[in-house]
């Protein structure tokens, strides 16, 4: 990237991280674009050059994180099976990043009641899913059915969402990552535990 592009990316990242931090500290209702811009040292107009709303700024970490997972996936060894590459790339990226803290759960639950933030979060997850689908198609190679790549990306995104919701609703100190990896491994194996239970439930009595 050119110096100009690097500066633009740095400014966007600074605005996004500040928006998320202030939202966690104050809540969405008390968060103002002017405050985000002031903390970073730019004008609200400059903020609007990067984000259409405070909600978009707060949720932008979702897409940025998916971009890093995409890069990690494409860097995995070429002979590594696709599911292993997905799990390993995801796990490595999780370990590199700061994880949600248990003491932040209450604030996150409050924030998700904000309809504007919730809608923006759904859009961010949809963008992330498209990014992952493109990366999976590239990783799988020429001749890959794009529908299959989209399906797999949807499975991974669903596992991520379910793992986060499960972690949010639990009261223990377990990390988010083991839940996510367990779901991915179960999906990679074809959901054997679920199908075995279902088969037992429908088997005729002897």
Domains, the chain, ordered by start: 55-190 (1.10.357.10)
Residue 35 has a CB neighbour count (10 Å cut-off) of 16
In tens digits, the chain (206 residues) has pLDDT values of 688 889 999 999 999 999 999 999 999 999 999 999 999 999 999 999 999 999 999 999 999 989 999 999 999 999 999 999 999 998 888 877 766 676 777 788 888 888 899 999 999 999 999 999 999 999 998 889 999 999 999 999 999 989 988 888 887 667 788 889 999 999 999 988 888 876 666 656 55
Structure letter (DSSP) for residue 111 = H
pLDDT for res 169? 82
Provide the Cα torsion 104, 106, 111, 112; round to 10°.
110
pLDDT for res 168? 82
Using a cut of 0.85, tell me whether the model's pTM lies above it. no
User: Do residues 9 and 1 touch, judged by C-beta distance below 8 A?
Assistant: yes
């Amino acid at each position: 990237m050119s110096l100009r592009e690097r500066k633009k990316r740095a400014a966007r990242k600074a605005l996004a991280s500040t928006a998320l931090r202030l939202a966690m500290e104050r809540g969405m209702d008390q968060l103002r674009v002017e405050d985000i811009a002031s903390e970073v040292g730019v004008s609200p107009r400059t903020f609007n050059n990067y984000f259409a709303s405070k909600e978009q700024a707060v949720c932008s970490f979702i897409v940025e994180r998916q971009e890093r997972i995409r890069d990690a996936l494409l860097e995995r060894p070429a002979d590594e099976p696709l599911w292993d590459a997905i799990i390993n790339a995801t796990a490595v990226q999780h370990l590199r990043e700061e994880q949600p803290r248990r003491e932040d759960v209450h604030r996150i639950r409050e924030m998700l009641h904000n309809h504007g933030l919730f809608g923006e979060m759904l859009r961010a997850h949809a963008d992330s899913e498209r990014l992952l689908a493109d990366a999976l198609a590239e990783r799988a190679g020429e001749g890959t059915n794009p529908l299959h790549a989209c399906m797999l990306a949807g499975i991974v995104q669903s596992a991520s969402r379910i793992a986060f919701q499960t972690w949010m609703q639990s009261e223990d100190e377990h990390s988010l990552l083991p839940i996510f990896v367990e779901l991915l491994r179960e999906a990679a194996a074809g959901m054997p535990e679920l199908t075995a239970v279902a088969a037992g439930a429908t088997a005729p009595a002897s």
